[in-house]
A and B are shown apart, each in its own frame.
Chain A
């Protein structure tokens, strides 16, 4: 019988796609027969592109490039149903629900025939689609799965409350927790989780599968993603190699350059946001560890700024909005894993998770 890793979480943005990429690679490395399954995909736009971006990424970088599954492998085998993020309540009536669940079940049966493991990427949260009966528990029931991996991303004692709440909820549906996986945990909280494991989690007999530290590198956007997010324009083509730069921090320069230095020195690989007319600040920033300059108000900088940025390969981006709006847009940016990062994902997942427990 196929063993399942059903990844679920109480909170959205728990890193299920990230973990799926890690799980898939680990199973490849172990030479296991497996499949990846995301019952419900969330297309970015129902009209222009039906594909869920995470599914599309896995198809492209792993299925096609690593395990060489033919290009015509049906997308639906990975993600049979697509439901939008919002406005879905009216779309999914009882009929549709049945159709969807059946489609999920039949695809699942098809792809699990000859495999040992299946990685199921659950909905954004266990609450999601509960109104229309397409939530994780409903899907698990249809698939005959009675254990889930619970992913926790709280770097605070709230993690214990959420874990117990989820356990109680699952209990009421006769679903067990295969283990808790702490993901994207701030470094300072790791020791605390170990304390909590001993004092609290162990009491409930829930195994801790692993603790993955928040990786600034993996969860930081590239300059190219920033340009897209803010609708900006690169004005120094000569520094286009810097589009792949990682941005770990944002810093807004509004004070004088001497005062800004104090903050600039404290951060690495920052995107420095300032007005296009602030030559002094731009020059001070270019002297420090910056990944990009974002100049707001669509104001062209002084030639000297462009010259230095070109020399150092630092992209200068003109943002069409004011500084606050630019920053707000950036806060909404959810960076995704890049193709050149998947090995790092494997490294992390392999090192931090208890694979003896998982593959048992």
Chain B
């Protein structure tokens, strides 16, 4: 069992630098100098077989020669020497290694083997490892990296999978007022990954916000377990790069093809309350606003501007970000009307016009927040404000900035304020003043709106029921029988289920699908047609995916003679137009739902595809043969999938309005559809071997539904 306490990386009592060097310019020298210069107060042991003393410190040939305990060792030796030294550290009882050395998985070949050996050493000695192939670790107590310049100390924790990206981000952060509680470069993640550090940092008092740059997430299950708890404690922002379509390319189902490679991350982040940054700029904007501004209680904001144009731009941005304008009470409106010039617009967004003085800004801000003393301003619904300043003759931006800071620090408390000072030379001083005083100030209103939106998202998340308290509904189902069906399919050397098998599985999970039986000869088809009645007949072959394309479906089979002829025609078509060597099991005779005679029918697609890291992903949307082109779909994780999730998923599609009923139509049976979605979710969670599942179409009726065409693929 790995040591889950990794606090020694943050507060080590002693550090060994394996590969410490006296020569300036060498990484071994930079790391040692960085530790000393950072004011580290614990013990430092340089390790170098060729030196006796480096930087006035006694140097040892090996960690085994050090007479005292060592908490962590930082490796700056060539890759091929790392494992031997790691073994020695294990014997010495060192708790953690920071391996800066490269020459592992990233070089392929022997590097892969070397990393595997390193992992086994880590397990053998219960030795936790950061890296290899990383920049190092910069904490509040020491700088254990080879970065040229350490960033300011502060309350943001930064975790990065790329060392170069981390240095670039640290450098960029110099232009911001905030500092860092730690900067962690993950490297190859041979042992410790982002989740391990996030788990620790969630309870770290020195850290208020966690920012991450990640290229991949190794352990999806652990992410789902740790993150929802961590995000309840503090905001976690992740910039996830490497969005690739490679995964989607190989997908054979509708769901797989429509989902794309990135959808899983999007869903997981949302479910776990992780804020996703799309750009580095986002990452820092979010870090800044979470660090310095309170989360508003409601999505209810005011815009105060001294220019109409930027006001409209900001309004558009609010619209895009789904931010809501607060409604002002009668007394507020009266007050604004009384004090502001006639040409001012007193409704939200408030335009206090071009000749606005600092005083006018002060009055307006205080009024909308109900801070003007001595007056009863009625209900105050404004929870935050965006103040826009353009440089006009009377504006005095720096003075406005000072006033905003004054109001914010003295009166606003739990209310949010952000600014957009638009311009260059004339407003730069004011903007800088705000920035240094922890009021986010953006060049343009769009970014301000974007940041505010992030706050409201966080508020919604905090108001929602914690994931660990949620339980997906559990239906009584015949799980054993489904297991048996899967066993038989595998025994038959198949991975794709045939329709009569899927039909039985759905039956086991209480989902209605039309009655269906397999005919192996035309004579059998005749008998089945007589039993079932009006039928649709479909080719049954695991190798024929697109049945319509090969003439493998015939509708309206009304007589036994029709069934005989249809059988012959379908099999002949499949042999002529289907793939070579397609194994034909026969023809399915399925009850034909005459939905044209029904009052209303909507074609829905509901499916599932497996994400290798995060498990089943469910897709709901407009179905039928144009499903892939309409792309009217929404996704959700099957993990802890609740009725609320299903409802939300339906509401996120365009077909939702059709299901509600348009042009006088009655509504469809949405409750019944939700029931199917929940049951499918249970099925795919019960059987992780289901890799793909598509119901297309799922016919929604005014009363009830029918799962007409079902495709299930399982693992080999």
Enumerate chain A interface residues (CB-CB to B < 8 A). 186-188, 190-192, 195, 216, 248-250, 261-263, 265-268, 287-288
Contact = CB atoms under 8 A, between A and B. Distances in A.
B483 interface: no
A33 to B, nearest CB: 37
Interface residues of B, number: 21
B543 A192 contact: no
Contact of B543 (A186, A250, A267): A267
Given A266-B543, A266-B544, A267-B543, A191 B580 contact: no
A250 to B, nearest CB: 7
A68 to B, nearest CB: 35
A188 B581 contact: no
A216 B523 CA distance: 27
Contacts of A268: 543
A188 B584 contact: yes
Contacts of B546: 262, 266
Given A187-B585, A188-B585, A266 B579 contact: yes
A191 B543 contact: no
21 contacts: A186-B584, A187-B583, A187-B585, A188-B571, A188-B583, A190-B520, A191-B520, A191-B521, A191-B586, A192-B520, A195-B521, A195-B523, A248-B580, A249-B579, A250-B580, A262-B546, A265-B545, A266-B543, A266-B544, A266-B578, A288-B250
A195 B583 CA distance: 20
A265 B257 CA distance: 13
A252 B324 CA distance: 57
Contact of A249 (B250, B521, B580, B586): B580
10 tightest A-B contacts by CB? A191-B520, A188-B584, A266-B579, A192-B521, A249-B580, A191-B521, A265-B252, A267-B579, A187-B583, A216-B581
A270 to B, nearest CB: 9
Contacts of A216: 581, 583
Given A188-B520, A191-B524, A249 B544 contact: no
Nearest to B546: A262
Contacts of B582: 266
A267 B635 CA distance: 29
B249 interface: yes
Nearest to A193: B521
B543 to A, nearest CB: 6
A188 B545 CA distance: 17
Contacts of B586: 188, 191
B692 to A, nearest CB: 12
Nearest to B587: A188
A267 B578 CA distance: 10
Given A265-B252, A265-B545, A266-B543, 16 more contacts: A187-B583, A187-B584, A188-B583, A188-B584, A188-B585, A191-B520, A192-B521, A248-B581, A249-B579, A249-B581, A250-B580, A261-B249, A263-B579, A266-B546, A266-B578, A267-B579
B521 to A, nearest CB: 5
A67 to B, nearest CB: 32
A263 B252 CA distance: 11
B575 to A, nearest CB: 8
Contacts of A250: 580
A304 to B, nearest CB: 15
Contacts of A262: 546
Interface in B510-541: 520-521, 523-524
Nearest to A250: B580
B609 to A, nearest CB: 14
B542 to A, nearest CB: 10
Nearest to B493: A217
Contacts of A190: 520
B174 to A, nearest CB: 42
Contacts of B584: 186-188
Interface in B224-257: 249-250, 252
Contacts of A266: 543-546, 578-579, 582
A93 B583 CA distance: 48
Contacts of B544: 266
A287 B250 contact: yes
A262 B581 CA distance: 16
Contacts of A267: 543, 579-581
Nearest to B550: A266
Nearest to B540: A188
B525 to A, nearest CB: 11
A322 B250 CA distance: 30
- Give the residue among A186, A190, A216 with the most B Cβ atoms within 10 A: A186
